[in-house]
Amino acid sequence: MKIRTKITEMLSIDYPILGAPMFLVSYPDLVVAVSEAGGIGCFPALNYRTIDHLREGIAEIRSRTKKPIGVNLILHKDHNPNWRKQFEVCLEFKVELIITSLGSPRSIIQEAKSNGAKVFCDVTTLRHAQIVAKAGADALIAVCHGAGGHAGTISPYVLIPQLKEEIGLPVIAAGAISTGKQMLASFALGADAVYIGTRFIATPESKASEEYKTMILESSAEDLVYTAEVSGIPANWLKKSLEKAQIQKPATIANVIEEAQIEKEYKRWKDIWSAGQGITQIKEIKPAKEIILDMIVEYKTILESIPKVDE
């Protein structure tokens, strides 16, 4: 069973499901599991503290799956001064998908495409989408209200149709998607794929701590706080983790250059946990493959049960 969309055709995958790249959560186990299950597993380059570690990480993934994978690059030099070197490693391993955040993809698109990669860009507004589309993006990741991590403020009911109508590029829906029902709703709005983050935190393959996973299971949308006070960019965070960590404004890890400081900041961030509003539907820890297959079955079941129009 497959679901064919512009995104599955573009990436040569079975299901229009992208495992969102999550800081300190998405590592080889999760990336491989999602890709092997028919989606595409992705991780942020910043999960690796050095360029050599990044190279080792991708090499491990490549040794365990031949399926396509994706890497998230933050292109803003103030947030990620090493992005160019990270990009070169992605080219070296012929990574199939580059996901850009916080910066214009103009500086990498031509080189990425000539190397066989697709470039998808996070966007939260029409204006941002227009900029990356003009730069040559292959698809837009519509980061809507309710997404985990750095999220936008616009409802998917508005943003996804707007991007499809105004830009015309394929759109990946991001924000509060944990089930087949929510995936089907995203497609009804015009999306060509879905971006799943929080649901994959509660898996055996994620690197999230057991306490983090338990908090995911025990929380709902009401337990989140949307604020820019943590990282400098508006994002959704688990209130309890912020209270426990007693950290209001952690430093941005990408800005910390010295090795000892990097180690310290990674440890601080491990106690501050993000989640999206789709947390409400997450009730158990399950393998990533099982989550994907369950979503596909539910998608098909709901699709067949939708009331038909009487002619």
Q: Extract the tokens encoding 274.
A: 């993000």
Which residues share a beta bridge with 236? 149, 226
Q: Mean pLDDT per segment of 10 residues, for the chain of length 311 residues?
A: 95 98 96 98 96 98 98 88 95 97 88 96 96 96 94 96 97 97 97 98 97 96 91 89 72 56 65 93 97 97 90 78
Q: CATH homologous superfamily of domain 6-205+283-299?
A: Aldolase class I (3.20.20.70)
Closest CA to 154 of 164, 163, 144: 144
**Residues 170 and 10: beta-carbon distance below 8 Å:** yes
Task: Write down the domain spans for the chain.
Answer: 6-205+283-299
CA distance 160 to 265: 35
pLDDT for 297 equals 97
Q: State the Cα–Cα distance between residues 192 and 164, nearest whole angstrom.
A: 10
Identify the H or E element spanning 212: helix 210-218
Q: What is the pLDDT of residue 91?
A: 98
Torsion angles phi and psi, residue 25, rounded to 5: -125, -45
Measured CA to CA in angstroms, residue 173 lies from 158, 279, 311 at distances of 12, 16, 32
pLDDT of residue 77: 78
Spatial separation of the C-alpha atoms in residues 223 and 171, rounded to whole Å:
29
- Listed in sequence order, the residues at least 6 apart from 288 whose beta carbon sits closer than 8 Å to its beta carbon are 19, 30, 33, 34, 37, 200, 203, 205
Q: What is the pLDDT of residue 113?
A: 95
pLDDT at 261: 62
Q: Are 95 and 86 in contact (CB under 8 A)?
A: no
Write down the pLDDT at residue 40: 98
Nearest to 284 by CA among 218, 238, 187: 218
Radius of gyration of the chain measured on its C-alpha atoms: 18
pLDDT of residue 43: 98
Beta carbons of 143 and 186 less than 8 angstroms apart: no
pLDDT tens digits for 234-273? Answer: 899 999 998 887 655 655 555 555 555 666 665 667 788 9
Task: Write the DSSP assignment of 29-42 as a string of letters.
Answer: HHHHHHHHTTSEEE
Q: Check if the beta carbon of residue 127 is closer than 8 Å to that of residue 116.
A: no
